[in-house]
Amino acid sequence: MKVSDLIAQLKEFPQDAEVVQAKDGEGNSFSPLADVSLGRYEAETTWGGQWGLLELTDELKKQGYGEEDVPNGPPTICLWPTN
């Protein structure tokens, strides 16, 4: 993803949202940015936590999501890697 693409996507989200990034299990590799999405993040420690849905809609309920999929945290942008 190019910087201009990232900037364009981020302009669509609340400007006061927190930002987190997905990480690999080993924490020692890098990957191109694939996607940006809005949800909620609940910190479990100072270095990690759970990210999930922003809100539970009727459509998401039909897909099998529940209240446990909406963390008790602020609106948060997540940066998703390709790998």
pLDDT in tens, 22-73: 765 566 677 888 999 999 999 999 888 999 999 999 999 999 999 999 999 9
> What pLDDT score does 25 carry?
58
Tokens of 48: 């990690």
> What pLDDT score does 69 carry?
96
**pLDDT, tens digit, for every residue of 48-62?**
899 999 999 999 999
Residue 80 · residue 31 · CB < 8 Å = no
Paired strand residues for 7: none
Q: What's the pTM?
A: 0.79
> What pLDDT score does 24 carry?
58
- 24 or 1, which is more confident? 1
Tokens of 44: 């479990």
Sequence spans of domains, the chain: 3-81
Taken as a whole, the chain contains a residue count of 83
Alpha-carbon gap, residue 70 to 54, rounded angstroms:
6
Using the predicted structure, report yes or no on whether residue 83 has a pLDDT greater than 90. no
